[in-house]
Amino acid sequence: MSEDTQTMIQHALDQDWNKANKIFGDMMSAKVQDVLDQEKIRLADQIYNGAEEEIEDEVEEIDDEQLELELDDETDDQEGQEEPTSLEDADQGIQEPSDNVQVEVDDEDGERQEDPLPEES
């Protein structure tokens, strides 16, 4: 662990929140600046040296097999609930907005009653 991280943790343990927050802000600023510098270098390389643009995102890509395994895990956790397996099926579960909204309200006896929301003027 870096010295800054240890110092920040010690300030947090000592409940010196202002000092811990300042060190945290400085650490995050340094990380953001490093990423910005890397991006500037990458763009300059593309513009001035003719380097090819990287098409793939830095976001973790999940292959179809892994996605299916994750979907299987979710359905195992939620037995009895049916989930759409494709984007076309997912669109079927979307409801259109309606102006006629009903809300279930409990009265003093704990019985549910359906009351429409008051009309807006």
Note whether residue 43 is domain-resident: yes
Residue 108 three-state SS: coil
Q: Which residue do the tokens 């929301």 mark?
A: 117
Domain of 32? 3-49
For the chain, the domain total comes to 1
pLDDT at position 32? 97
Tens of pLDDT, residues 7-19:
999 999 999 999 9
Distances (CA, A) of 96 to 10, 36, 93, 99, 101: 53, 42, 10, 10, 12
Note whether residue 16 is domain-resident: yes
Question: Counting every residue, how long is the chain?
Answer: 121
Note whether residue 82 is domain-resident: no
Greater pLDDT, 2 or 64: 2
Note whether residue 10 is domain-resident: yes
Q: Which residue do the tokens 């907005």 mark?
A: 97
CA 99 to chain CA centroid, Å, is: 30
Exposure letters 42-71 (e unless 16+ CB within 10 A, then b):
eeeeeeeeeeeeeeeeeeeeeeeeeeeeee
Whole-model pTM? 0.41
Greater pLDDT, 107 or 46: 46
CA 25 to chain CA centroid, Å, is: 22
Tens of pLDDT, residues 106-120:
666 666 655 555 555
Note whether residue 44 is domain-resident: yes
Note whether residue 64 is domain-resident: no
